[in-house]
């Protein structure tokens, strides 16, 4: 792919040298040549280059002056100096000014190629380190892509079919259903897996910083822009860009994103030159995106451009048979992280968890398991460790017992919750009075309230057991 070739700028006042460079390097690199030191400054300012090869001895403006200007414009760019002089001083001076290395004319082609390769690899490593640091800050995991339900098996098949294409993908579904994991799995199975996987949470970046975060900016383009900044599009070049919460993107940015996705080019804030990028776009949203389109909150043309391959993640309540798999995964995960030895979950507790609607989906389930393991002193998750909100049911304790719907432990917990709630409401939320009316100590009341998830004060709205 042409756009994935590193871009080199060759600066020399001798046209024969520029022609030689071009012939040697054109198969592996995108080569731009310039015979003037002054003109080369403008090229660096307006274009993106991965490396500069710069002659030391030139009229008008010598190589050391050009090097200094280039380093001011872009401290991240590597420059290899070329000199016909065997004096060591120019080489030393160039290294002090930030040159990557220097080559003495006449040189062996193999030496030139080796030096260029080292410089490109160094820049690639720096870029990868930037990406990794940002990824560590931004990426949250729900665990592996887990499940055996029909719904998730269909998604497995879809991932297998689309991974090696470059078509844009729009993943929809409620918050916490695993959209991020699907996006990362697609990247890892694609031909782009050796290149960066960069995540942007569109909802977490202030509107005034979004353009800079996505497309980068030039030095001096706005107050505080002290140096050139590479945006997420450039960091993802060759790989995959995952735009999470795409439905939160302001309309003003949607048009700019559409151009970048459609044309494969972008422009840094404050820049004039378009920069080609070769990336695969995967977007995700928990909004009803078609409703947002009809309400003019999301551009219809951008929606159709992103929705080439739609993937919908079902909520956890629609794939309840996968819940035990997630529980086992999270128990193993947090046993290791928290140095615990929780071995299993009993049948009564599992029954309650399976019947719960899980509005927060997999994320809510993971948080619950982490909390239980953190607080647990036993090696089994039982009913009494299940949070109170999961214990709520649309039937009374008496009905539950007579119907055989609940275990004895759960029935007792529901009955205690009902009695405490009524006592607190009668006493206006006064715990001492409520405890006295129940014939228990205040400390016992507080302990039971904590285990049942009851708050202080009159709580008639919590008596929905």
pLDDT above 70: residue 263 = yes
Q: Answer whether residue 73 shows pLDDT above 50.
A: yes
| Six-digit token string for 143 | 């665990």
Residue 8: CA atoms inside 13 Å, Cβ hemisphere, count? 25
Indicate if the pLDDT at residue 346 is higher than 60. yes
Contacts of 233 (CB under 8 A, 6+ apart): 214, 215, 216, 241, 260, 266, 277, 279
463 has pLDDT over 80: no
Q: Which of 146-150, 201-205, 232-236 has the lowest mean pLDDT?
A: 146-150
State residue 129's pLDDT score: 62
Alpha-helical segments (H) within 189-306: 207-215, 232-235, 251-263, 289-294, 300-306
pLDDT tier at 132, thresholds 50, 70, 90 = low
Domain 153-314: which CATH class?
A: alpha beta
**CB-side neighbour CA atoms (13 Å) of 177:** 26
Question: CA-CA distances (angstroms) from residue 422 to 93, 437, 458, 462, 465?
Answer: 84, 11, 9, 10, 12
CA–CA distance, 218 with 9 (Å, rounded to integer) = 19
Instruction: Kindly state the average pLDDT of the residues 66-79.
Output: 85
Q: What integer pLDDT is reported at residue 462 of this predicted model?
A: 38
Handedness of CA 360, 363, 368, 369 (dihedral sign): positive
**Per-residue pLDDT tens for 80-131?**
988 876 667 777 778 888 888 888 888 888 888 999 988 888 777 776 666 5
pLDDT-above-70 percentage for the chain: 87
C-alpha torsion sign, points 130, 132, 136, 142: positive
Beta-strand pair 101-104/78-83: parallel
Q: What are the domain boundaries of the chain? A: 2-134, 153-314, 316-386, 394-465
For the stretch 223-236, pLDDT in tens is: 888 888 889 999 99
What would the pLDDT profile of 175-198 be if each residue is shown by its tens digit? 999 999 999 999 999 999 989 999
Q: Kindly report the average pLDDT of the chain as a whole number.
A: 84
Mean pLDDT of 359-377: 91
User: Is 153-314 in the same CATH topology as 2-134?
Assistant: yes
Do you know the residue count of the chain? 465
pTM of this prediction exceeds 0.95: no
Architecture of domain 316-386: Orthogonal Bundle (1.10)
What is residue 405's predicted lDDT score, i.e. its pLDDT? 45
Q: Is the pLDDT of residue 142 over 70?
A: no
CA distances from 427 to 120, 123, 436, 456 (A): 75, 70, 10, 12
pLDDT on residue 423: 86
Can you give the pLDDT at residue 442?
84
255: left (phi over 0), alpha (psi -120 to 50) or beta: alpha
Q: How far apart are CA 387 and CA 452, in angstroms?
A: 7
Give the pLDDT mean for 337-366.
Answer: 89
Burial, 278: exposed, middle or buried (Cβ in 10 Å; 0-12, 13-18, 19+)? Answer: middle
Q: Which of 104-113, 243-252, 258-267, 311-320 has the lowest mean pLDDT?
A: 104-113
Alpha-carbon distance of 209 to 242, in angstroms, equals 18
- Of 286 and 357, the one with more pLDDT: 286
Alpha-carbon torsion angle 147, 149, 153, 154, nearest 10? -130
Helices (H), 47-149: 63-73, 88-96, 109-138
Question: How far is 363 from 330, CA to CA, in rounded Å?
Answer: 11
Identify the bridge partners of residue 101 per DSSP, sorted by sequence position: 80
pLDDT 10s digits, 369-428: 999 999 888 888 888 888 877 875 443 444 344 334 445 556 667 777 778 888 888 888
Phi first, then psi: what are they for 54, rounded to 5°? Answer: -130, 125
Confidence of residue 313 (pLDDT cuts 50, 70, 90): very high
Task: Write b or e for each residue in 54-69: b if 16 or more Cβ atoms lie within 10 A of its Cβ, otherwise e.
Answer: bbbbbeeeebbebbeb
The end-to-end CA distance of the chain, in Å, is 62
Residue 67 to residue 413: CA distance in whole angstroms: 75
What is the CATH superfamily name and number for domain 2-134? Response regulator (3.40.50.2300)
d(CA 406, CA 39): 81
| Superfamily of domain covering 394-465 | Homeodomain-like (1.10.10.60)
Dist. CA 286–CA 436, nearest whole Å:
49
């Amino acid at each position: 792919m042409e756009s994935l070739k590193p871009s080199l700028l060759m600066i020399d006042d001798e046209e024969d040298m520029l022609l030689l460079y071009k012939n040697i390097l054109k198969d592996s690199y995108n080569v731009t040549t310039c015979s003037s030191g002054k003109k080369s400054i403008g090229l660096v300012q307006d274009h993106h280059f991965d490396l500069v090869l710069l002659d030391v001895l030139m009229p008008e403006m010598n190589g050391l002056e050009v090097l200094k200007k280039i380093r001011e414009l872009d401290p991240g760019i590597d420059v290899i100096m070329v000199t016909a002089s065997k004096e060591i001083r120019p080489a030393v001076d160039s290294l002090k000014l930030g040159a990557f290395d220097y080559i003495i004319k006449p040189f062996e082609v193999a030496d030139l190629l080796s030096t260029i390769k080292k410089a490109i690899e160094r820049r690639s490593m720096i870029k990868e380190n930037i990406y990794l640091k940002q990824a560590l800050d931004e990426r949250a995991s729900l665990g592996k892509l887990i499940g055996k339900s029909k719904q998730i098996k269909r998604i497995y098949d879809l991932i297998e079919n689309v991974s090696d294409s470059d078509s844009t993908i729009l993943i929809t579904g409620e918050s916490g259903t695993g959209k991020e994991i699907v996006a990362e799995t697609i990247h890892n199975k694609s031909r782009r897996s050796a290149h960066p996987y960069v995540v942007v949470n569109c909802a977490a970046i202030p509107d005034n910083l979004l353009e800079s975060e996505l497309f980068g900016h030039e030095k001096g383009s706005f107050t505080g822009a002290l140096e050139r900044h590479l945006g997420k599009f450039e960091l993802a070049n060759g790989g995959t860009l995952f735009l999470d919460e795409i439905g939160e993107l302001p309309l003003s940015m949607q048009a700019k994103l559409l151009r970048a996705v459609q044309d494969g080019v972008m422009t840094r804030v404050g820049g004039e030159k378009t920069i080609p990028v070769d990336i695969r776009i995967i977007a995700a949203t928990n909004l009803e995106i078609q409703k947002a389109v009809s309400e003019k909150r999301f551009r219809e043309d951008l929606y159709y451009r992103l929705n080439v391959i739609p993937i919908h993640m079902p909520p956890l309540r629609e794939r309840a048979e996968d819940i035990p798999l997630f529980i086992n995964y999270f128990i193993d995960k947090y046993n290791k992280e928290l140095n615990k030895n929780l071995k299993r979950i009993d049948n009564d507790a599992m029954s309650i968890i399976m019947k719960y609607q899980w509005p927060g989906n997999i994320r809510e389930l993971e948080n619950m398991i982490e909390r239980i393991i953190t607080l647990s002193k036993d090696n089994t998750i039982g009913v009494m460790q299940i949070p109170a909100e999961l214990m709520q049911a649309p039937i009374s304790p008496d009905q539950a017992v007579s119907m055989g719907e609940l275990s004895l432990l759960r029935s007792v917990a529901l009955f205690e919750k009902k009695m405490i709630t009524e006592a607190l409401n009668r006493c206006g939320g006064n715990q001492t009075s409520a405890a006295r009316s129940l014939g228990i100590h205040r400390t016992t009341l507080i302990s039971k309230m904590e285990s049942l998830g009851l708050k202080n004060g009159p709580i008639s709205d919590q008596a929905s057991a």
